[in-house]
Chains A and B, each alone.
Chain A
Amino acid sequence: MNKSWQVTLKEWREVFKNKMVLYVIVFMPILFILIPLITLYQMSGSGALSEMAGSADQIPAEMVSMCEGLSGAACAQYLVVIQFLLLFLIMPVMIPATIASYSIVGEKSTKTLEPLLATPITTIELLLGKSMAAVIPAVTVTWISFVAFIVGTIIILGNTDLVTLILSPMWLLLIFGVAPLLSVFGVSAAVMISTRVNDPRVAEQIPSLVIIPLIGLFMAQTFGLIQMNLSVTIWIALILLVIDIVMLYIATQLFQREKILTKWK
């Protein structure tokens, strides 16, 4: 574990000096917080939310049921806010994919991998170190951004009932359980792809495709095809956990010293 932690610290010292990575880690959360807050602010100022509340009878019953006793206006606000919460599930996938891609493919391009592999570090220790280096900042940034978004929402909408609903077990599980699992997924995918490509951008982009099923999930919810609740969220978390374990296993198997040294050019 100590060696893994040393790898993590080394990665942070090195990767965060890469401007591309730094931009993703700093600017993506800022954008993901500011865009929804500005939108909410404009909607509340323009009366759009009141209009939505006025036509609450036109909102699908499946969606209204998600409001769990909120008044018409609050329900409308909640339905808008949860669309933005999707961003906080995209972030933990995008950030670690960027870090992990640069961390592994970067070792290829700078030819630092061979001396590293020649040390008495196991593949598991090495990958764990690199994964922690990607997952920890991603999850931390996601949580901080989520808290900042909640605080901003309270300030703009002044509705604590709404916050109570956002801080329901389902959303807490999504942000504090599913988000880290998505992060691990992003890293595993980046590791797997990094062992096969030479360009960090390719390794970074492919894991990002995971956001497509995420968007699909929320679209299905919006159109009432599925209803997100705590039990569905628990199932998603469990399925993701299994996928993560399988992905980590495959990533470890793919990360073979001999292939990496002889095939990577």
Chain B
Amino acid sequence: MTEMIVTNNISKKFGELTAVDRLNISIPQGEVFGLLGPNGAGKTTTLRMLTSLIAPTSGEASVAGYKVGTDDYEIRKNVGILTESPGMYDRLSAERNLAFFASLYEVEDPDTQIKKYLQMLGLWQRRREEVGTFSKGMKQKLAIARALLHEPRVLLLDEPTSGLDPVAAKMVRDFISELKEEGRTIMICTHNLDEADRLCDRVAVFQTELLALDTPANLRRQLYERSVVFHLSDAKETYAESIRKYDFVRSCQVLDNKLVISLPDPEERNPELVNLLVKQGAEIQFIGEIRHSLEDVYLHLINNNIKEEINE
């Protein structure tokens, strides 16, 4: 599979301050990749390096097959960027804003492209109004349209749903999913971990340096044991004691009318546990898995990193 974004030990220093430290990522075509990290983690600096707006202090990177630092013009032509702030011209209409950027991106049929994206993002009816009269959400959608005008193969989105109401945020998320279906490679910087969980094929937790990189599901597995919860009509300690006798069970606790059981492979072991409980006369109401959120993973990684820094 073609790798659309590759960074090889890229670092960025501003004087004594290291903003990005030896970042290694490789993103194949068609992947939605999330870059997660707290404020000041270096996410925006990374995006800026990948759009050739700032140069890495060391290391190498390529975007859409073009090398950062040497093919900057080509990179800018093939990458669409949504910056942290929408950055639209308030005194120009939505249509004029897009027409201006279309001319800079050398879009062949600007009118068609402008109409296409304004319609897709629900702004066509207001195309002639000054952007200064738009809500933050509308400006954000317009900025997304701008990032797509030249049909870039790679999209770098910095906080795409920031400041949007739930309906608009969902619209943008659905739109990103559509763009993924079209085979575009998308890198998203976000604080919205639920959004990253839903949208991203893989995520990188990042705080100046890479802390973890994998699919959200794998990150959960790496950090947390899997736990199932049996809701019973009457949970007794005796049930827990008999369950603890199994070697594969790591722990079992009674909480109200629930049995919370930690085990490595619930899909394989659950039938055995169900049989045991039924034989002992337990009435099982339903069974579920305790699912750790990406937020749990993120906080775990970031807090550990902060503790390590303090210890050092």
Known contacts A6-B103, A10-B100, A258-B55; decide if A114 and B87 are in contact (CB<8 Å). yes
In the complex, besides A17-B91, A114-B87, A119-B101, 20 extra interface pairs with C-beta distance below 8 angstroms are A6-B103, A6-B104, A10-B96, A13-B91, A13-B92, A13-B96, A110-B87, A110-B89, A111-B85, A114-B53, A114-B85, A115-B143, A115-B146, A119-B76, A120-B73, A121-B104, A257-B53, A258-B54, A262-B14, A262-B54
**Judging by beta carbons under 8 Å apart, are B54 and A115 in contact?**
no
A105 nearest CB across to chain B (Å): 15
| B219 interfacial by beta-carbon distance below 8 Å | no
Partner of B105, one of A114, A117, A120, A258: A120
B186 nearest CB across to chain A (Å): 16
What secondary structure prevails in chain A residues at the interface with B?
A: helix
Across chains A and B, the number of contacting residue pairs, with CB separation under 8 Å, is 70
**Judging by beta carbons under 8 Å apart, are A120 and B106 in contact?**
yes
Most A Cβ at <10 Å: residue of B48, B73, B79, B88: B48
Residues of chain B contacted by A121 (CB below 8 angstroms): 104
Residues of B within 8 A of A (CB): 14, 48, 51, 53-55, 73-74, 76-77, 79, 81, 83, 85, 87-92, 96, 100-101, 103-106, 143, 146
Residues of chain A contacted by B146 (CB below 8 angstroms): 115
B149 nearest CB across to chain A (Å): 10
Partner of A3, one of B48, B88, B103: B103
| A140 interfacial by beta-carbon distance below 8 Å | no
Which residue of A is nearest B158, CB measured? Answer: A114
**Judging by beta carbons under 8 Å apart, are B91 and A120 in contact?**
no
Most B Cβ at <10 Å: residue of A13, A115, A258, A262: A115
Residues of chain B contacted by A57 (CB below 8 angstroms): none
Within 8 A of B (CB), among A98-130: 110-122
**Judging by beta carbons under 8 Å apart, are A120 and B103 in contact?**
no
Residues of chain B contacted by A13 (CB below 8 angstroms): 91-92, 96
B231 nearest CB across to chain A (Å): 52
| A2 interfacial by beta-carbon distance below 8 Å | yes
User: Bound complex: CA of A17 vs CA of B131, how far in Å?
Assistant: 13
Residues of chain B contacted by A111 (CB below 8 angstroms): 83, 85, 87
**Judging by beta carbons under 8 Å apart, are B54 and A120 in contact?**
no
User: Bound complex: CA of A257 vs CA of B52, how far in Å?
Assistant: 9
Known contacts A10-B92, A120-B77; decide if A258 and B87 are in contact (CB<8 Å). no
User: Bound complex: CA of A121 vs CA of B52, how far in Å?
Assistant: 12
| A68 interfacial by beta-carbon distance below 8 Å | no
User: Bound complex: CA of A111 vs CA of B14, how far in Å?
Assistant: 21
Partner of A115, one of B77, B83, B90, B92: B83
User: Bound complex: CA of A120 vs CA of B101, how far in Å?
Assistant: 10
Which residue of B is nearest A121, CB measured? Answer: B104
**Judging by beta carbons under 8 Å apart, are A10 and B85 in contact?**
no
Which residue of B is nearest A9, CB measured? Answer: B100
A247 nearest CB across to chain B (Å): 26
Known contacts A13-B91, A14-B89; decide if A120 and B104 are in contact (CB<8 Å). yes
**Judging by beta carbons under 8 Å apart, are A2 and B103 in contact?**
yes
Which residue of A is nearest B73, CB measured? Answer: A120
| A261 interfacial by beta-carbon distance below 8 Å | yes
A14 nearest CB across to chain B (Å): 5
Residues of chain B contacted by A114 (CB below 8 angstroms): 53, 83, 85, 87
B75 nearest CB across to chain A (Å): 9
Most A Cβ at <10 Å: residue of B85, B92, B104: B104
Which residue of B is nearest A257, CB measured? Answer: B53
